[in-house]
């Protein structure tokens, strides 16, 4: 197979979303979530930390050492709101917060309120645990978003000075160092693209690549830090996180081996996703790192990923354990980890040109990530179990509040995930990864073409791609054929035809005329899925999916505990005529039975004393569960044998 043409993301400003589903998600974040998050950021002392730094004070830092990052992620999400709605009422708040942050930065470019207030003499002495580079990475990402939204931006200047300070301190011929929590690498790449354009590979890109390549080498900088008693006074918990049977392993930090030697996904889930996302942007097809990324991806998606796209089953390390260890009720599956999976998957898709990575991105976005935020946009899950007996509930904030603003920035920038552009030997191509209803324009260097995507995706049915000018544009369109569609069919201006399928995309290369329309029928029936028998948690159970959407059964709909329900998987689920919560996705009636035991039954009873009553249960999208208060829920339900 020939090499794929270069592919780069299409910035959100080139995409106008009209899809009711994603419009509703964005409006909930922009109009409700951002204001609620800002109130939390203020009331918890996060902004006051910056004000105190600006006043030259010392001591009295409020919150956790990484709380600056929540302010930066909020600023990034708010930039997307203002970019799409220039008169949005959040804009004055954004300008005020930018001023507060800018005033806290030191002349050198350094900014981290925890160290500035509490330990000004110990900067960059505890890279393994205390997140300085992680926080500045989110500052840089926010700065880039502000420049794209506003042009010249004060926050961009703050971000660039921070990046330059890091670049002057670390790198080849300088100090060896990188962050225990990966993120800065992604930010440096994004800054490089903002400065020079995608693919230019300037100084920030090279610094990011150096940091990716240094991780896992011996002697490890983190191992040396762990042995430094003064450094560990700031993080006494860290030694036990990175040791295995008394010896340094580094798996928690993905520091166990160079990335090019990785075969399994290990350690902290969010950190690993951010590392592999950066590695995907700093390697080339065919080199050892790319081969390692393929191995790790396959291990993750075939043996260590929940059907929802959630990842990282364990709480003790917020991450991975062993193959097929995927418990339902105790699943950790941090919301940020699903965000990270989407970030890595889209980069692997652009690197390889293969649609299969976007299949996983789609799974993570519509299930594992969106379950982390309420339909109202202001209540959240940190963890995302696949079963609950009513002990889980959404909350407006967390003491470790990384997830709310992370979800906000991803939803705010969802337009940049819909499509990519690129120019290869055969000319320009528009890749449509997520064909949600939207208006797309390609930049001048990519043909300056305009397309309107129509349909109700991800609900199964017909998707249309209509050309809206200028006539004569020669732009190839590559439309991803989703994995869940077993028999896709296509039409060109109403006439059926068979497009060429390349790497999972239906590709149309021709000269376009005004009104030309590509139609794709991505119909799908409700389907029951079972798991590999090595996944003991799912034995004897089935999961309902329609298209990419995972469904669950809630006590609120069954009026009984879902674990008593047994699904008749031989009976076809029926579409509900109404949507119970206004989430914009279909709901389904499922036939089955409800297992009964006499009131006051003993803990154990003879089989003949158990009976079942026929019942029809409403299944709702997993992303919408627990929007009616805490109640029991199951994704994997028992099935008739």
pLDDT single digits (tens) 258-297 = 999 999 999 999 999 999 999 999 999 999 999 999 999 9
Number of domains the chain is built from: 4
226 CB neighbour count, 10 Å cutoff: 23
Structure tokens belonging to residue 392: 């889980």
Same domain, 227 and 280: no
Same domain, 222 and 317: no
Work out the average pLDDT over 231-244.
93
Q: Average model confidence (pLDDT) for the chain?
A: 95
376 CB neighbour count, 10 Å cutoff: 12
Same domain, 377 and 430: no
Same domain, 458 and 499: yes
Neighbouring-strand partners of residue 575: 588
Q: Is residue 301 part of a domain?
A: yes
pLDDT at 199 (0 to 100): 80
Q: Reply yes or no on whether the pLDDT at 544 is more than 80.
A: yes
Which of residues 522, 545, 575 is at a domain's end?
Answer: 522
Q: Reply yes or no on whether the pLDDT at 431 is more than 80.
A: yes
Residue 440, domain extent: 418-522
Do residues 618 and 576 make contact, with C-beta atoms less than 8 angstroms apart?
A: yes
Same domain, 78 and 106: yes
Q: Reply yes or no on whether the pLDDT at 425 is more than 80.
A: no
pLDDT at 189 (0 to 100): 97
Q: How confident is the model at residue 383 (pLDDT cuts 50, 70, 90)?
A: very high
Q: Is residue 412 part of a domain?
A: no
CA distance 454 to 473: 20
pLDDT at 427 (0 to 100): 80
Work out the average pLDDT over 583-602.
86
Q: Is residue 400 part of a domain?
A: no
CA distance 497 to 508: 11
Q: Reply yes or no on whether the pLDDT at 602 is more than 80.
A: no
Which of 14, 79, 9, 3 lies closest to 453 in space, CA to CA? Answer: 14
210 CB neighbour count, 10 Å cutoff: 19
How confident is the model over 296-346, as pLDDT tens digits?
Answer: 999 999 999 999 999 999 999 999 999 999 999 999 999 999 999 999 999
Work out the average pLDDT over 87-103.
97
DSSP annotation of 321 reads -
Q: Reply yes or no on whether the pLDDT at 1 is more than 50.
A: no
Q: Reply yes or no on whether the pLDDT at 5 is more than 60.
A: no
- Sequence-ordered alpha helix ranges (H) in 227-324: 229-232, 238-242, 269-281, 288-303
How confident is the model over 116-170, as pLDDT tens digits?
Answer: 999 999 999 999 999 999 999 999 999 999 999 988 779 999 999 999 999 999 9
Q: Is 98 helix (H, G, I), strand (E, B) or coil?
A: helix
Q: Is residue 15 part of a domain?
A: no
Q: How confident is the model at residue 598 (pLDDT cuts 50, 70, 90)?
A: low
Same domain, 89 and 170: yes
Q: Domain containing 444 — which CATH number? A: 2.60.40.1180
CA distance 585 to 588: 10
Q: Is residue 30 part of a domain?
A: no
Same domain, 51 and 175: yes
Q: Reply yes or no on whether the pLDDT at 3 is more than 80.
A: no
For 216, residues 6+ apart whose C-beta sits below 8 A from its C-beta are 250, 254, 255, 256, 257, 258, 259, 261
Lowest-confidence pick of 332-336, 409-413, 609-613: 609-613
Which of residues 466, 489, 522 is at a domain's end?
Answer: 522
Same domain, 99 and 203: yes
Same domain, 518 and 560: no
Q: How confident is the model at residue 599 (pLDDT cuts 50, 70, 90)?
A: low
Same domain, 504 and 635: no
How confident is the model over 351-362, as pLDDT tens digits?
Answer: 999 999 999 999
Q: Is residue 33 part of a domain?
A: no
Q: Is residue 16 part of a domain?
A: no
Q: Reply yes or no on whether the pLDDT at 601 is more than 80.
A: no
37 CB neighbour count, 10 Å cutoff: 26
Q: Is residue 38 part of a domain?
A: no
Which of residues 480, 499, 522 is at a domain's end?
Answer: 522
Same domain, 226 and 90: yes
Q: Reply yes or no on whether the pLDDT at 579 is more than 90.
A: no
Lowest-confidence pick of 100-109, 130-139, 602-611: 602-611
**Residue of higher predicted confidence among 246 and 70:** 70
Same domain, 456 and 515: yes
Dihedral pair phi/psi, residue 225, rounded to 5°: -65, -40
pLDDT at 470 (0 to 100): 86
Work out the average pLDDT over 166-188.
98
């Amino acid at each position: 197979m020939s090499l794929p043409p270069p592919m780069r993301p299409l910035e959100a400003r080139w995409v106008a979303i009209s899809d009711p589903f994603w419009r509703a998600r964005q409006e909930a974040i922009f109009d409700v979530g951002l204001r609620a998050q800002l109130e939390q950021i203020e009331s918890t002392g996060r902004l006051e930390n910056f004000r105190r730094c600006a006043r030259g004070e010392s001591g009295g830092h409020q919150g956790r050492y990484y709380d600056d990052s929540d302010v930066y992620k909020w600023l990034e999400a708010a930039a997307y709101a203002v970019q799409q709605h220039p008169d949005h009422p959040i804009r004055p708040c954004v300008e005020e917060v930018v001023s507060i942050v800018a005033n806290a930065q030191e002349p050198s470019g350094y900014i981290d309120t925890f160290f500035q207030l509490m330990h000004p003499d110990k900067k960059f002495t505890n890279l393994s645990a205390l997140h300085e580079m992680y926080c500045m990475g989110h500052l840089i990402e926010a700065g880039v978003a502000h420049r794209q939204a506003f042009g010249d931006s004060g926050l961009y200047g703050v971000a660039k000075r921070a990046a330059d300070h890091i670049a002057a301190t670390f790198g080849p011929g300088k100090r060896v160092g990188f962050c225990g929590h990966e993120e800065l690498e992604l930010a440096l790449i994004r800054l490089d693209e903002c400065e020079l354009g995608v693919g230019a590979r300037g100084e920030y890109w090279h610094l990011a690549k150096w940091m990716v390549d240094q991780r896992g080498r011996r002697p490890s900088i983190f191992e040396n830090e762990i042995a430094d008693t003064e450094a560990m006074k700031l993080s006494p918990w860290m030694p036990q996180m990175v040791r295995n049977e008394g010896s340094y392993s580094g798996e928690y930090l993905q520091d166990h081996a160079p990335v090019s030697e990785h075969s399994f996904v290990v350690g902290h889930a969010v950190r690993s996703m951010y590392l592999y996302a950066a590695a995907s942007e700093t390697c080339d097809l065919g080199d050892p790192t790319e081969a390692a990324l393929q191995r790790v991806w396959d291990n993750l998606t075939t043996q260590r990923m929940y059907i929802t796209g959630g990842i990282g089953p364990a709480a003790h390390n917020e991450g991975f354990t062993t193959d097929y260890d995927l418990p339902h009720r105790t699943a950790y599956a941090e919301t940020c980890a699903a965000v990270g999976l989407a970030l890595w998957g889209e980069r692997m898709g652009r690197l390889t040109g293969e649609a299969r990575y976007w299949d996983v991105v789609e799974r993570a976005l519509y299930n594992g990530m969106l379950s982390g935020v309420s339909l109202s946009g202001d209540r959240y899950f940190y963890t995302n179990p696949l079963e609950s007996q009513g002990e889980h509930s959404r909350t407006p904030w967390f003491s470790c509040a990384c997830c709310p603003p992370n979800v906000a920035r991803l939803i705010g920038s969802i337009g940049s995930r819909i499509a990519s552009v690129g120019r290869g030997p055969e000319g320009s191509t528009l890749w449509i990864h997520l064909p949600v209803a939207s208006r797309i324009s390609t930049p001048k260097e990519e043909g300056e073409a305009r397309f309107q995507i129509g349909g109700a995706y991800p609900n199964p049915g017909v998707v249309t791609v209509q050309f809206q000018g200028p006539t004569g544009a020669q732009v190839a369109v590559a439309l991803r054929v989703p994995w869940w569609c077993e028999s896709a069919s296509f039409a060109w201006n109403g006439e059926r035809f068979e497009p060429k399928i390349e790497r999972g995309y239906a590709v149309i290369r021709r000269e376009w005329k005004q009104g030309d329309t590509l139609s794709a029928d991505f119909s799908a029936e409700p389907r029951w899925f079972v798991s590999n028998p090595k996944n003991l948690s799912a034995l004897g159970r089935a999961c309902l999916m329609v298209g990419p959407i995972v469904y669950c059964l809630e006590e609120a709909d069954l009026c009984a505990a879902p674990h008593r329900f047994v699904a008749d998987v031989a009976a076809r689920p029926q579409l509900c005529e109404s949507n119970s919560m206004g989430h914009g996705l279909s709901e389904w009636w499922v036939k089955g039975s409800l297992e009964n035991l006499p009131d006051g039954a003993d803990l154990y009873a003879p089989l003949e004393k158990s009976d079942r009553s026929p019942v029809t249960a409403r299944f709702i999208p997993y992303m919408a569960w627990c929007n009616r208060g805490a109640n029991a829920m199951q994704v994997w339900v028992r099935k008739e044998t």
